[in-house]
Chains A and B, each alone.
Chain A
Amino acid sequence: SQKIEQNSEALNIQEGKTATLTCNYTNYSPAYLQWYRQDPGRGPVFLLLIRENEKEKRKERLKVTFDTTLKQSLFHITASQPADSATYLCALPSPFSGGYNKLIFGAGTRLAVHP
């Protein structure tokens, strides 16, 4: 079955630095991958979607890479701010659901940006 692994330990960084979060997956080749932000007691908020034919995607201070050979996605936040502190979730479409795929989520990585 498909497995998604994200850093289980919290990532603590200093304000202004770049945060890099990792998502590794096994046992299949997804057509795309999504990153979400989740704050305590709230729903996941969509950030970026990257497709298998895209190596990199950017949105403001966010950058996502997708290496289908390594089966890995990296999520970067540049010039990080305390307001970026949250849990970041990686999600892949199930391979068996057709075009409107259910998502399989990783456990998330908690990011804490310190002033």
Chain B
Amino acid sequence: EPEVTQTPSHQVTQMGQEVILRCVPISNHLYFYWYRQILGQKVEFLVSFYNNEISEKSEIFDDQFSVERPDGSNFTLKIRSTKLEDSAMYFCAITQGSNQPQHFGDGTRLSIL
């Protein structure tokens, strides 16, 4: 049973549209991550979020991306104007502490048409 639930499981969107991907941890965690995996490629880091702030982001995480914890439990990833190359699986991950395992959700498959 994953420690995080991600919604939706599959999102199909027209290029240029905004999407919001959601992550709900089962228990209270402070440290969150978003990763993505383009079909057939490695899992790659996007952003980490600690104490309601971005702590690190990759070069992929440009101005089109943003993260939030709008209500203290949900954790969201927004892509403002989607591009074809944003099509991928997006995974949320959490950790309970420093140098501890990261636990992943089952992801959202994002398809940009």
Contacts and interface: CB of A to CB of B under 8 A. Distances in A.
Contacts of A101: 99
Interface in A95-115: 97-108
A84 B49 CA distance: 33
Contacts of A34: 101-102
Interface in A71-115: 89, 91, 93-94, 97-108
Contacts, number: 65
Given A42-B106, A44-B91, A106-B42, A97 B48 contact: yes
Main secondary structure of the interface of B (DSSP, over half): strand
Given A100-B48, A102-B33, A46 B101 contact: yes
Given A89-B43, A105-B42, A100 B107 contact: no
Interface string B22-62: 00000000010101000001111100101000011010000
B83 interface: no
A108 B50 CA distance: 28
A41 B6 CA distance: 13
Interface centre among B43, B48, B98, B105 (most CB of A within 10 A): B43
B19 to A, nearest CB: 18
B75 interface: no
Nearest to B91: A43
15 contacts: A31-B99, A32-B99, A41-B109, A44-B43, A46-B101, A89-B43, A100-B95, A101-B99, A102-B45, A102-B48, A102-B56, A103-B33, A103-B45, A106-B42, A108-B42
